[in-house]
Structure 1
Amino acid sequence: MRTGARAATALALALALAGPLVPAAQAAGTSPPAARKAPAVVQPAVQPAAHSRVLTVPGTVNARDTGGYRTYDGATTRWNTLYRTESLAKIPPAGVTALAGLGLRAVIDLRSPSEVQADGADRLPAGPVPVALPVDDTGLYLFIAQVVGSADPAAQEAALGGDRAAQRMRTAYRGFVTSAANRAALGAAIRRIADSTGPVVVHCTAGKDRTGVLIDTVLRAVGVPQSTTTADYLLSNDLRAAADRAVRDQVKQLGLMQNPDLLIPLQEVRTEYLAAFRDQAEHDYGSFGRFLTDGLGLDPSTLVRLRLRLVA
């Protein structure tokens, strides 16, 4: 494979590592888990009583609703109000139609400008306002592209072997807290959710890391127990498993990696990654509450509006 073609392929696969490579999964003959087959697209205006955690939005594997979670005081988060997903840049027309059925008012995109340039702008129906609030993931997908594109087993082992890939993920998660720009973007996203007059979807490229910490923060802020928000975070592993495996298979088939399992720590979400984010927030600000107010700049009235918006 020529150097230019190898680099282009590696970049495409890096984006696929961050977001599901659905065509590759289909070509490999893999099937989504059973939990992904049954749910119908939630259409609030037509089927207000039909609630499903996982949404069927063609072109995605990790689209879901954050409703139905119990809070400490016995209330429940609202369905059809806050959704999370991966990049919407390559969804087919049927995916756009499915999004239209959700009645979205805003789509909050946490991807960096370089990711948007490489992956493309979101494909959205008429109606929702696109909101760009980039959160830096320490250039993770460019790093993946470089490592995979090298096609050098020794270099790949040196970059990703042992605990090195997981360490890079923990560093990225701590950076969601230590970077002032990242805190500003996360705070702005939460204010947008609190002030929305209709359903909102939040996404990054994979819908698992930046989206994961934002949703974890939002749900904890409105009183959902940490054990529940952790389970919601980890659900990405089940939903993305087939697509992630297909990417690893493709990397090996293309001769780019002899040991594509080195990529697994970058593809997965792990409790240790989320703990790195939470621990950094408490270390820097003393408590989760102070992280919300002093770190993310959320005043008490915003937190009250967030609770009223998301909890029935």
Structure 2
Amino acid sequence: MILKKTTLALASAMTLVSAAHAQSAAPDAVRAEVTMAPHYTLSWPAGLGPIDIYAAPAPDQSKMTLIRHDVTATSLSLASPLSGRNRAYFYLKPRKGGAGLWVSNRILPLEGVANFRDMGGYETTDHHHVRWDVFYRSAAPSGLTQADYALVDTLGIKSVTDLRTQAEQEKQPTHWQGASPAFFASEKPTLPADMTDRTRLATMGEAQARALMEGFYAKMPDYYAPELKALFARLLAHQTPTLTHCTAGKDRTGFASAMILYALGVPEQTILTDYAMSGDLLRAHMTPSFKAAMADQKNGGAMAASPSMRAMLDSDPAYLKAAFDSIKKQYGSVDAYLAQKLDVGPQQLTTLRSLYLD
């Protein structure tokens, strides 16, 4: 199921991500993980007890088929139960009764785009779960290969939110193959000057770069409010599955993804844990298109060879926390920010959760 070129990179990435999860201990009452290197490997908490495992081409109980009965172990490795490049979803049903759990691979194995992942499966504060196969996030999809599209086309993506600047869009345009989704691009010409000052970035130390990143995140809630307001309007209009991306799929995409998860009721600590994956995934899978973006002079490219690059590529939860802190300081709460700046008040939150939670 995985392309040979990406097997080692994705396996390495999953090892790093698993370590990040262990350190952060996101408060999921029931959590399972799925990796694909090269087979599906499922693992789940012993507290589920014996389970029946079903497989399906979509997270839909009407389409699932029983593949393992009365499994007493807490992990299982198996080849894909589906033909072709179709992504498999698994339903873990406790034999003792009670609600089951849909799981799938969070990270999609692509050749030309790093950090492409599904935001589904996360548990909310009231013990629902974000639906799989609805919210995708990634680095710029301009590097998707023909082989990548064989998998991406099966996702049925209807809308793409591009948070890159116009300069980034012009440098690396996305030429979507096959049935094209609706594209919604940011109209910002460039990033703030302090993020693209090549001379300053090239000579900046790591501590300075981290402070710069936290400052940028603190500005994002207002700076990207127009793009996020439009994104939430599309979610409320059910224009999903949807893909949100920037250049690395880490900073602007990380903040947008955090707001989506928060609106759905996912705890802040879980959101910070999800955000922390990006740095590891980017380092494990440096695609040609992402390397080119980092070397582009219009994108602050001189930083690519500087000591500050480590900080700029990192996904330290302190960065995203700076955005949360800025929101709380200015608006009092994230809920107030969603309502006042993004037109996502109590009624809209109820609608989003009815659409996108199991």
For residues 310 and 175 of structure 2, the distance between their equivalents in structure 1, rounded to whole angstroms, comes to: 26
- Paired residue secondary structure (2:89): coil
2:115 is matched with 62
Does the 8 Å contact 2:157/2:240 carry over to 1?
yes
Q: Which of 67, 71, 89 lines up with 1:49 in the alignment?
A: 89
Does the 8 Å contact 1:174/1:280 carry over to 2?
yes
For residues 127 and 63 of structure 1, the distance between their equivalents in structure 2, rounded to whole angstroms, comes to: 18
Change (3 A) 1:70 1:134: farther
Q: What is the 5 A alignment of 1:120-269?
A: 120-134=173-187, 137-138=191-192, 142-143=196-197, 146-147=198-199, 156-157=202-203, 160-179=204-223, 182-243=224-285, 260-269=306-315
Does the 8 Å contact 1:65/1:79 carry over to 2?
yes
- Paired residue secondary structure (2:184): strand
Change (3 A) 1:289 1:173: same
Instruction: Identify the range of structure 1 (122-131 vs 210-219) with the bigger mean alpha-carbon deviation.
Output: 122-131
Deviation at 1:203, TM superposition (A): 0.7
For residues 129 and 38 of structure 2, the distance between their equivalents in structure 1, rounded to whole angstroms, comes to: 21
2:148 is matched with 95
Does the 8 Å contact 1:105/1:129 carry over to 2?
yes
2:37 is matched with 38
- Paired residue secondary structure (1:115): helix
2:125 is matched with 72
Deviation at 1:207, TM superposition (A): 0.4
For residues 40 and 225 of structure 1, the distance between their equivalents in structure 2, rounded to whole angstroms, comes to: 31
Change (3 A) 1:305 1:40: farther
Does the 8 Å contact 1:184/1:297 carry over to 2?
no
CA-to-aligned-CA distance 1:97-116 (integer Å, 9 cap, x gap): 22111011111111111110
Q: Which of 304, 308, 312 lines up with 2:354 in the alignment?
A: 308
- Kindly provide the amino acid, as one letter, of the partner of residue 209 in structure 2: A
Change (3 A) 1:98 1:217: same
1:274 is matched with 320
Deviation at 1:241, TM superposition (A): 1.6
- Paired residue secondary structure (1:261): coil
For residues 327 and 304 of structure 2, the distance between their equivalents in structure 1, rounded to whole angstroms, comes to: 38
Percent same amino acid at aligned positions? 27
- Paired residue secondary structure (1:130): strand
- Kindly provide the amino acid, as one letter, of the partner of residue 296 in structure 1: L
For residues 116 and 258 of structure 1, the distance between their equivalents in structure 2, rounded to whole angstroms, comes to: 19
CA-to-aligned-CA distance 1:153-172 (integer Å, 9 cap, x gap): xx833xx1152211221221
Report the TM-score, using the length of structure 1 for normalisation: 0.75
Deviation at 1:65, TM superposition (A): 0.6
For residues 289 and 214 of structure 1, the distance between their equivalents in structure 2, rounded to whole angstroms, comes to: 15
- Paired residue secondary structure (2:141): coil
CA-to-aligned-CA distance 1:93-148 (integer Å, 9 cap, x gap): 122222111011111111111110112235343141112235664257743xx349
Report which of the two has the higher share of helix. 1
Report the TM-score, using the length of structure 2 for normalisation: 0.66
For residues 260 and 241 of structure 1, the distance between their equivalents in structure 2, rounded to whole angstroms, comes to: 15
Q: Which of 332, 339, 350 lines up with 1:293 in the alignment?
A: 339
Change (3 A) 1:43 1:164: farther
Deviation at 1:61, TM superposition (A): 1.9
Change (3 A) 1:211 1:122: farther
For residues 116 and 208 of structure 1, the distance between their equivalents in structure 2, rounded to whole angstroms, comes to: 16
For residues 305 and 39 of structure 1, the distance between their equivalents in structure 2, rounded to whole angstroms, comes to: 38
For residues 270 and 303 of structure 1, the distance between their equivalents in structure 2, rounded to whole angstroms, comes to: 28
Does the 8 Å contact 1:33/1:239 carry over to 2?
no
Higher relative contact order, structure no. (Cα contacts within 8 Å, ≥ 6 residues apart):
1
Provide structure 2 residue ranges, at least 5 long, that are not aligned to the other structure: 15-34, 41-55, 64-85, 91-103, 296-301
Change (3 A) 1:270 1:54: same
Does the 8 Å contact 2:114/2:287 carry over to 1?
no
Give the aligned CA root-mean-square deviation in angstroms. 3.2
For residues 64 and 258 of structure 1, the distance between their equivalents in structure 2, rounded to whole angstroms, comes to: 24
Does the 8 Å contact 2:36/2:105 carry over to 1?
no
